[in-house]
Amino acid sequence: MILLISILGSGKVGASIAFLCVSNELDDVLLVNTTKEKAIGESLDIASAIPENSKFSIRGTDNYSELVGSDVIIIAASVGVYTKHRAENMDFQVEMIKEIAEKIKQYCPSAIVLLVSNPLDVLTYFFQKISGFSRFKVIGIASSLDTSRFRYYISEKLSVPQSSVSNALVLGEHGDSMVPIFSGVSVGGNPLFSMIDSRETITENVRNYWRTLRTFKSRSQFGIAKNTFDVINAILKKKEISIPASIVLDGEYGEHDVAMGVPVKIDQNGVSEIQKIKLDDTELSSLKKSSQKIRNDIKSVHD
């Protein structure tokens, strides 16, 4: 059986995901990039990280027809860098995703597709609509990264290790309206009743994490790479994981015809379940605002 991980976009994020897949011997990796030299250069560099006894390889190309046979495709392509908010280059990115969706439909109609490119929820929505793929096989990866950031700030505030923070989740948009869910969080096994005063600050910090990071480094790459790798690993190694991820909704959480981050289970077939979790009234109303923000963005592209 041929298995192949194909990564579209060989920039910071695409190359970091490829590095993790290769160094952890997950599968053969194909890098596809518009500038062919970049895909080849990154694959040559990463090839030196192939473990001695690994049977897998990596190669780079600009030719989409080489996608044939891919089991998992990751979209980390981008036509520009945003500076103020993630939806800045939305029209170009949507154009790009439409072209990519047509090609993936042509060359690997059975693949599971993980989207990483921004604006994440809008692109997940358009990819699913244009490709016509099952919504359970088109997964936007970002809310799990936002969740890692949420756990980071809770642990920092309470001066406890991140490992003691559990059931923290960030849902909704991968953008300024994202919703950290405090009501289910436990620390050291106990429900988080304290920190009522800090909730607003933590929420702002999580939403602004990328802005803070960019005051020190040009762009983020490793956090999203690891979160994406975990999903590829779950799919290829047939190990179910539960994470928040973006998926087109059809009634779940009262939402239709929009993609946003919700808690899901992912296995070798893609999303196996959209989990229903209890949210308090404030969280529910914030989630509604978040879905409306994504819907407005989607509509602005249609118009």
Phi first, then psi: what are they for 31, rounded to 5°? Answer: -100, 130
Residue ranges that bind ligand NAP, judged by CB under 6 A: 8-14, 32-35, 38, 76-79, 81, 96, 100, 116-118, 120, 141-142, 145, 174, 219-220, 224
Q: Looking at beta carbons only, is 100 or 171 nearer to ligand NAP?
A: 100
Cβ proximity to ligand NAP, 86 vs 295, nearer residue: 86
| Contacts of residue 61, Cβ cutoff 8 Å, sequence gap at least 6 | 30, 31, 32, 36, 39, 40
d(CA 177, CA 119) in angstroms, rounded, equals: 13
In the complex, minimum distance from the CB of residue 142 to ligand NAP, in angstroms, rounded to a whole number: 4
Copy the structure tokens of residue 246.
Answer: 């973006």
Q: How far is the CB of 77 from ligand NAP (least distance, A)?
A: 3
Q: Give whichever of 53 and 218 is closer to ligand NAP, judged by the CB atom.
A: 218
125 CB-near residues (< 8 Å, 6+ apart): 248, 258, 259, 294, 298
CB of 52 to ligand NAP, least distance (A): 29
Shortest distance, position 30 Cβ to ligand NAP, whole Å? 11
> 192 or 261: whose CB is closer to ligand NAP?
261
Greatest Cα pair distance in the chain: 55
Least Å distance between CB 13 and ligand NAP? 3
Closest CB to ligand NAP among residues 98, 157: 98
Nearer to ligand NAP, 9 or 263 (CB): 9
Q: Which residues are catalytic?
A: 174
Residue facing ligand NAP at closest CB distance: 11
| Residue 175: closest CA among 209, 126, 137 | 209
We find the least distance from the C-beta atom of residue 75 to ligand NAP, in angstroms, to be: 8
